[in-house]
Amino acid sequence: MENKVIDEKRQGEALHVAPGKRKPGKKMFIESYGCAMNFSDSEIVASVLSEKGYTTTGDYKEADLILINTCAIRDNAELRVRNRLKEFNSVKRKNPSLMVGVMGCMAERLKAQFLEEEKIVDIVVGPDAYRTLPDLIESVEGGQKAVNVLLSRDETYADINPVRLDSNGVTAFISITRGCDNMCAFCVVPFTRGRERSRDPLSIVNEAKSLFGQGYREVTLLGQNVDSYLWTGGGLKKDNPSAEELINATTFAQLLEQVALVDPLLRVRFSTSHPKDMLDDVIHIMAKYDNICNYIHLPVQSGNSNVLERMNRGYSREWYMERIRSIRQILPDCAISTDIITGFCGETEQEHLDTVSLMEWVGYDFAYMFAYSERPKTLAERKFKDDVPELEKKRRLTDIVALQQKLSGECTRAGVGKIHRVLVERVSKKSEDMLSGRNSQNTVVVFPKEHYKKGDYVNVLAETCTVATLIGKAV
Ligand code: SAH
Ligand code: SF4
Ligand code: F3S
């Protein structure tokens, strides 16, 4: 059985837009699947359409327009979308003027084919074409179905002020790059999101300042590989920038510093780091600023160098271990999490055991774990046989999930008896009298509310814990 909890966490819970102020006009319902990048894109779409008079609703049954922001990373991510479309179908039968649009990675992957496969769909729009949504909607109003899946070399939506959806008012995402230039053999993202582009650092810093001014206290900088961020003045990253261009360029470490300098009370996180590109400059900047959180998500995928080579990840087990040693040395208090795939093409039992031993060696705080799912068009689909039997993939997955459960428990327990600086994000789901937030290491901490509120920094002494949550009291 696939590990549902962890997979769903990664997929992200479906996001329902909080009901906006009721104005006369059209209502849209946006639901997002997949990674943080998709959730962030939905906020760009909400902004584009709010200018066209659309307000948001949390109830799809009263919407004039349903948009579903899709993920294509694994087969089950796509299945979930297909099932959801079936549910929307019953509403459309009662209300034929309801418009249904699919956006995001599955839209990009399937293109116009989507219209043939799912009769309910009116609009198919890829990740780089969201500015054209008003035109696409007009076509549908004129009786035509509409598709735009053009990928771009320079679109970063830098000038669009996202409408924060489903927000706690404390934490927000800021996209810093789009697309991906790596060709990991298993991965569909380069096909669905196109070439890597970096966004103007000035627009990023301004967005962080504006969020801080509105009361936000934490931003997460987003990219498929944040370490390869490089601003040389716009457009595609050059393969061979000149010496002069490099001197004037902004690297990820420099960007991180600029965002950290916005205000000491604004926490900064980032995701995702790529082991081949995450060098010591970034770790040193993290160590220099208290408000950059001590947490690195460093997906390893496999602990065996031959598998990593087949995956085309660009690093070996030894290189990865060296990166971990650097983190431990420069930032001893840093939490580390990872992504792992079990049962990639040709993975032997011994190779699987190398993943197990690496997990134990690192002692990950957290991990997202997946059984390999072959994706059309990828290097692996063209070059290798998907030859690890499904049951065996799942057995290996179950193994590492159990191990990670133990490792996570140990990491959380190590925080008991210590004082944690917690940024309060919300009232706890379990009790009205408790607040919930996270420490710098990204562990959830809950404690009695007293007079504290959302957006406060509170020092909490952890007294006890569950596998993933510290429980304590303010001191
Ligand atoms: N850019 C990030 C990963 C984005 S996708 C990085 O390079 O780390 C998120 C995770 O999904 C990946 O880290 C990988 O563990 C998993 N994943 C990607 N493609 C997959 C596939 N075909 N089957 C199973 N898991 C996959
Ligand atoms: Fe996919 Fe690799 Fe790019 Fe991550 S770095 S998005 S795994 S191709
Ligand atoms: Fe999924 Fe696309 Fe993100 S495939 S994981 S939504 S980049």
pLDDT attached to residue 21: 42
Report if residue 83 sits inside a domain. Answer: yes
Q: List pLDDT tens digits, range 299-350.
A: 999 999 999 999 999 999 999 999 999 999 999 999 999 999 999 999 999 9
Examine the domain organization and report whether 225 and 87 are in the same domain.
no
Residue 65 lies in a domain: yes
Together in a domain, 268 and 384: yes
Query: Looking at the domain assignment, is residue 164 inside a domain?
Result: no
CATH classification at residue 57: 3.40.50.12160
Contact 420, 475 (CB under 8 A): no
Segment 35-46 shows an average pLDDT of 97
* Residues above pLDDT 90, as percent of the chain: 91
The pick from 182, 301, 344 for probing ligand 2's pocket by mutation, whose C-beta has the most ligand atoms within 8 angstroms, reads 182
User: Do residues 18 and 50 both lie within one domain?
Assistant: yes
Do residues 17 and 79 share a domain?
yes
Residue from 71, 177, 187 whose mutation best tests the ligand 2 pocket (most atoms within 8 A of CB) = 187
pLDDT value of position 11: 36
Burial class (CB in 10 A: 0-12, 13-18, 19+), 324: buried
Q: Which residues pair with 456 in a beta bridge?
A: none
pLDDT tens digits for 51-105?
A: 999 999 999 999 999 999 999 999 999 999 999 999 999 999 999 999 999 999 9
Domain check: are 455 and 349 in the same one?
no
16-20, 241-245, 358-362: least confidently modelled range:
16-20
For residues 186-212, average pLDDT: 97
- Structural domain includes residue 153: no
Q: How far apart are CA 295 and CA 289, in angstroms?
A: 13
pLDDT per position as a tens digit, 397-441 = 999 999 999 999 999 999 999 999 999 999 999 999 999 999 999
pLDDT the model gives residue 240: 74
Q: For 130, which DSSP code?
A: G
CATH no. for residue 437? 2.40.50.140
Domain boundary, last residue among 364, 385, 413? 413
Select from 413, 439, 462 the last residue of a domain. Answer: 413
Residues 15 and 112 in one domain: yes
Q: State residue 241's pLDDT score.
A: 77
- Domain annotation covers residue 127: yes
Q: Which residues line the pocket of ligand 1, CB cutoff 6 A? A: 73-74, 186-187, 189, 224-225, 272, 274, 299, 301, 339, 341, 370, 372-373, 375
> By percentage, how much of the chain surpasses pLDDT 70?
94
Per the domain annotation, does 162 fall within a domain? no
E strands within 33-81? 55-56, 65-70
Asked if 55 and 21 count as a contact pair (C-beta separation under 8 A), the reply is yes
Quote the tokens at residue 467: 């596998």
What's the total number of domains in the chain?
3
359: left (phi over 0), alpha (psi -120 to 50) or beta: alpha
Identify the pLDDT of residue 393: 98
The domain in which residue 430 lies consists of 419-474
One domain for residues 428 and 394: no
